[in-house]
Amino acid sequence: MSLLVVGSVALDTVQTPFGEAADAIGGSGVFFASAASLLHPVQLVGVVGDDYPMQALEKLRERGVDIEGVEKARGESFRWKGKYSYDLQSRETLETRLGVFAHFQPKIPDKYRNAEWVFLGNIDPELQLSVLDQIRKPKLVACDTMNYWISSKRDVLLQLLRHIDVLMVNDAEARELSGDWNVYRAARWILSRGPKRVVIKQGVYGAVLVEGEHIFYVPAFPLEKVFDPTGAGDAFAGGFMAHLARSDDLSPQNLKRAMVFGAVMGSFAVEDFSINRLTAIGPADVTARARAFQDLVHFDAEPKYFDHPPKAGR
């Protein structure tokens, strides 16, 4: 079951209260692929300039990431620089240089066009639609977006929603898109525009899956060391989509498992800068943390504990 991601391939300079990384490899496509490849092979489409350290992508190839779809263009690679607050919940963009990414027109290699599982990273919704025109018969399409596209290309984004199965956004983006402060009503609004499912990421508070009348919540994994939240959402998407691709199962129970694997990958991503932590772990680490998630949320649900609620005290 082939898994395709189309997204940015960037060089990030990140400052947090706990350290700094300069010109570290990043971008939505790279974080997604780094996480997903721990569970399933990935096909990556993006663009880099002639200044990009291609040896870094070669290391991803060794992990099962097909990089034939990464275009090499003359010019500077996409670069982003940001600074995070002490609680890592808010950040300030210090610099954005799009470079060759400004003229990116995704060209899907012919061998990728039969991809059954497709993730559209955070790029212009017009480009996301152009990708779908090149994919023959996907089984499931998920996509991400951001506030910039919500405000600047709302009409195109609403058109895109009619052609996807899962929208994955954070809570602020869900609120802006729907115009409703309540994330659950916002999710219902999004579902009414076309997607079958909505995943709303809430950072340190976890993530919510809304499908029809069903809601499933997965918490963020409790970590004592968090260094860099950059790319956590894309790593979440990588875990989510890779589990679905490897299991080929869209049942409600398996979607819940996909949410857990998304949370697992997001939790690993924030433990170091760039994709360092994701490339340092293996499948056994992923399995161990998934089991730890199960222990984190499991409780005895025998009926006897619910049939006789305690009497109210004075």
Strand order across the beta sheet in which 3-6 lies? 65-72, 42-48, 3-6, 117-120, 140-144, 166-170, 197-201, 207-211, 214-218
If pLDDT is split at 50, 70 and 90, which confidence band does 313 have? low
Q: Burial level of 162, CB count in 10 A (0-12/13-18/19+)? A: exposed
Q: What percent of the chain stands above pLDDT 70?
A: 96
Of 23, 36, 19, the residue nearest 266 (C-alpha) = 36
Domain count for the chain? 1
Q: What is the pLDDT of residues 110-159, one digit of tens each?
A: 999 999 999 999 999 999 999 999 999 999 999 999 988 999 999 999 99
Q: What is the pTM for the complete model shown?
A: 0.94
- CATH code of residue 169: 3.40.1190.20
- DSSP 8-state secondary structure symbol assigned to residue 79: E
Strand partners, 167: 143, 198
pLDDT for 98 equals: 92
Question: Tens of pLDDT along 56-74?
Answer: 888 899 999 999 999 999 9
| In-domain check, residue 309 | no
Is residue 306 assigned to a domain? Answer: no
Tokens in use for 116? 């059954």
* DSSP 8-state assignment for residue 115: -
Q: What is the pLDDT of residue 300?
A: 75
Helix orientation angle between 183-191 and 171-178, rounded to the nearest 10 degrees? 60
pLDDT tens-digit readout, 157-212: 999 999 999 999 999 999 999 999 999 999 999 999 999 999 999 988 999 999 98
Q: Are 183 and 200 in contact (CB under 8 A)?
A: yes
Query: Is position 305 within any domain?
Result: no
pLDDT recorded at residue 212: 87
Task: Encode pLDDT of 284-294 as tens digits.
Answer: 999 999 999 99
Q: Is residue 304 part of a domain?
A: no
Q: Which domain covers residue 178, as residue numbers?
A: 3-298
Q: Does residue 96 belong to any structural domain of this protein?
A: yes
Instruction: Give Dmax over CA atoms of the chain in angstroms.
Output: 75
Judge whether 260 lies within some domain: yes
**Is pLDDT of 227 > 60?**
yes
Q: Report pLDDT for 88.
A: 82
Q: Confirm whether 308 is domain-assigned.
A: no
CA-CA distance, 202 to 200, in Å (whole number)? Answer: 6
pLDDT digit string, tens, across residues 254-286: 999 999 999 999 999 999 999 999 999 999 999
Q: What is the mean pLDDT of the chain?
A: 93
